[in-house]
Amino acid sequence: MTFLFIVFLAFSAFAVDGAIVLTDRVKLQNITEASALAAASEFNSGADVSTAATNIFNALKSQRLESATSVVAVDTTKKQVRVTSQYISKPIFLSFLGVTGIRLEAKSCAKNEALNVKSNYTGVNWVTSSAQYQSDILGTDSSINKPLGPASPNDFKSAAYKGADVRYNQIESNGLSLGPGGYITIKLPEPLVDKPGNDLYIEEGGSAKEGYMVFAGLDANPGKPYVKSGTEGDGIKWVNISCSATGNPTLGVSTDGLGTQKKIYGGGNFDIGATCGGTLAISMAKYIRIVDDNDESAYIGGVQYNIYGEASSATAGADISSVTVLNHVRLIPPADYGS
């Protein structure tokens, strides 16, 4: 009986020590991954990524892991960061047998990349496919380097020639023509968060750089979010971020319903943290609405021209080729670091 009791005690002690080591290992892995992810988002900020990773790791260390150490490797070309951490876990009962510490190691890699928002045509949930102003939420599918729009052009009709029987939202140069004054609303696969540098890139196809406005949106009430047309919850709040665009001219456009708004010609980068209103400031967006400027002007070769008749063509309006979320950060297998 006494012998069995001693064996029972020994196994219990091992179980307790094993649980301690397991807990430490999980926590070490958690803070290693978190510091790698946070550091990877600093690639476009100009800050020292290695220092950022170390600082975040030190801040995340909890009471039991205070003596944990980290080694950071940074690949600035591929925008990857690898954090390797170590910690000596201190068991209670094993120390009676001379085992005062068990060395734990965790490794995590994160990558900063640009993520294109795309949808196959069947994934685009238009409110009314034949209504010229009624584009709706784009599918939330996302992958790399896929253009908006269908794989091949559909039949469509001339606005001028066919009068009211108009269908825009057709592709042009693998893009999506909005139609004059038309729009598209994109529900992003994940929130667009203001990070250092630009956060969003919109490609406007064709050699004639046409004008459009970009609005960033957030659910007015997260408890009742927008689901789809007809199930719109408590609605979406918007702000114009067109003035934050870089790379192409921005001008004012007089709208019918919202006064003068800023617009951009051609593709450009957008920083959602830099809005067009003086007191307006956003740091996050879940929706992007791109609205054609309803104007027949365009920049061609750096010069602004009026292109009369453009609004009456079948692929009128700004031609959106792609929408790219910049500064997207994700974990990658440690073995893929540098590749």
Partner 1 sequence: MNRIIELKKRRAQQLVEFLLVAPFIIILLGILVEYAYALNVNMSLTQGLKAATANMYYDVKPGATAAQIKSAVLSNLTTYLDDNKIAVDAQNSIAVNYVSLGNTTVFTASYKYIPAFTLPMMYVRFLPSEMNFLASSAVPTAFINTNTYDATITTAALNNIWSTPTAPKGVYNVPADQGNMIFLVPTATANLYDIKDWGGNLETYTLNSSDGELYTSCATTCVDSGKNFKTFYALKKNIIFVHDSGADGWANIVNRAVGMEDSNGKSRGNYDNLNVSLYNSDVVSTQPEKYSVSVSGGKVFTYVSSPALSVDDISKL
- 96 belongs to the binding site for partner 1 (CB under 8 A): no
Is 142 in a helix, a strand, or coil?
strand
- The first and second tokens of residue 52, run together, are 């950022």
Nearer Cβ to partner 1, position 85 or 294?
A: 294
Q: What are phi and psi of 149, to 5 degrees?
A: 95, 170
Considering only residues 110 through 149, tell me which ones interact with partner 1, judged by CB under 8 A.
Answer: 131-133
- 14 belongs to the binding site for partner 1 (CB under 8 A): no
Size of the site for partner 1 (CB under 8 A): 108
- 235 belongs to the binding site for partner 1 (CB under 8 A): yes
Residues whose CB falls within 8 Å of the CB of residue 325, separated by 6 or more in sequence, listed in order: 114, 115, 116, 117, 142, 188, 189, 190, 192, 199, 200
Rounded to whole angstroms, the Cα distance separating 76 from 82 reads: 11
Selected binder of partner 1 within 246, 305, 331, 333 (CB under 8 A): 305
- The first and second tokens of residue 248, run together, are 């192409």
Considering only residues 275 through 294, tell me which ones interact with partner 1, judged by CB under 8 A.
Answer: 277, 279-284, 286, 289, 291, 294
Q: How far is the CB of 70 from partner 1 (least distance, A)?
A: 14
Selected binder of partner 1 within 21, 71, 102, 239 (CB under 8 A): 239
- 63 belongs to the binding site for partner 1 (CB under 8 A): yes
Considering only residues 65 through 84, tell me which ones interact with partner 1, judged by CB under 8 A.
Answer: none
Q: How far is the CB of 103 from partner 1 (least distance, A)?
A: 21
Selected binder of partner 1 within 28, 148, 202, 236 (CB under 8 A): 236
Q: What does the angle CA 6 – CA 7 – CA 10 come to, to the nearest 5 degrees?
A: 85
- 255 belongs to the binding site for partner 1 (CB under 8 A): yes
Selected binder of partner 1 within 215, 265, 270, 337 (CB under 8 A): 215
Three-state SS annotation for 25-70: HHHHHHHHHHHHHHHHCCCCCCCCHHHHHHHHHHHHCCHHHCCCEE
Q: Which stretch binds partner 1 (CB under 8 A): 93-101, 102-110, 137-145, 179-187?
A: 179-187
Contact 288, 302 (CB under 8 A): no
Considering only residues 31 through 60, tell me which ones interact with partner 1, judged by CB under 8 A.
Answer: 31, 34-35, 37-38, 41-42, 45, 47, 52, 55-56, 59-60
Nearer Cβ to partner 1, position 1 or 335?
A: 1
Q: How far is the CB of 310 from partner 1 (least distance, A)?
A: 6
Q: How far is the CB of 339 from partner 1 (least distance, A)?
A: 26
Residue with tokens 């009369």: 308
Rounded to whole angstroms, the Cα distance separating 307 from 322 reads: 23
Contact 245, 269 (CB under 8 A): yes
